[in-house]
A and B are shown apart, each in its own frame.
Chain A
Amino acid sequence: QVQLVQSGAEVKKPGASVKVSCKASGYSFTSYYIHWLRRAPGQGLECMGIINPTGGTTTYAPKFQGRVTLTRDKSTSTVYMELNSLRSDDTALYYCAREGQHAGTGTTYYGMDVWGQGTTVTVSS
């Protein structure tokens, strides 16, 4: 079945970097864009960026521009999210999610259909 499996929880110190992986299975990896989002404690969902696994092109949310990097490895069907210069307010659950497509046409409906299980990133000195 279609699955996105993320790497395990991370604990980092302020100023450090974190790299979270998201391994896709059960579908053609290059056929669907992947989003990264996060939810901080007591906060709502927040978009960080999106990657096209075919060519690796990316778009980042203005808030994270310059601090986040999305990459992919087609050989392992894995997408990575790296966040630099971590601060305490980066403590959150980080999710990858596949962008949904209209059945039959393959065009996006600008929403997510399948999610990863989430990765907790804790930033603490």
Chain B
Amino acid sequence: NFMLTQPHSVSESPGKTVTISCTASGGNIASNYVQWYQLRPGSVPTTVIFEDDQRPSGVPDRFSGSIDSSSNSASLVITGLRTEDEADYYCQSFHSSDLVFGGGTKLTVL
């Protein structure tokens, strides 16, 4: 079974940089694209990264994504943290005809 594992929570101070990992098991992370979604209470969910490292228009360049085949993982990096970045972040990929989501990471900016 292909699975994506994320840390349950991360926290960092405003202005700092945070990295959220998404580790694949049961398959190769590089076989299909990885997306990252931001879910904030009371807001429309936002796709912040698609196709591993592409940023949709309107998403600040403080958000970046990457894939590391050696560790079979994807990463979302947010620089210059702002309080409005506080949200749940989900990685997502595709395997055997199914969308697969990580369990989500709660980012606290304090």
Contacts and interface: CB of A to CB of B under 8 A. Distances in A.
Contacts, number: 58
20 contacts: A35-B99, A44-B90, A44-B102, A46-B101, A47-B98, A47-B99, A100-B35, A109-B35, A109-B51, A110-B93, A110-B99, A111-B35, A111-B92, A112-B37, A112-B47, A113-B47, A115-B37, A115-B44, A115-B47, A118-B45
**Interface SS of chain B:** strand
Interface of A: 35, 39, 44-47, 95, 97, 100, 102, 109-118
Contacts of A112: 35, 37, 47, 92
Nearest to B47: A113
Contact of B104 (A45, A97, A111): A45
Interface string B35-69: 10101000011110011000010000000000000
Contacts of B44: 115-118
Contact of A111 (B33, B98, B103): B33
A110 B47 contact: no
Among all A-B residue pairs, the 9 with the closest Cβ atoms: A111-B35, A110-B94, A115-B45, A117-B44, A44-B104, A44-B103, A45-B101, A109-B33, A47-B99
Contacts of A46: 101
Interface of B: 32-33, 35, 37, 39, 44-47, 50-51, 56, 90, 92-94, 98-99, 101-104
Nearest to B51: A109
A95 B15 CA distance: 31
A120 to B, nearest CB: 11
Contact of A102 (B32, B51, B94): B51
Contacts of A117: 44
A5 to B, nearest CB: 10
A45 B104 CA distance: 8
A111 B37 CA distance: 10
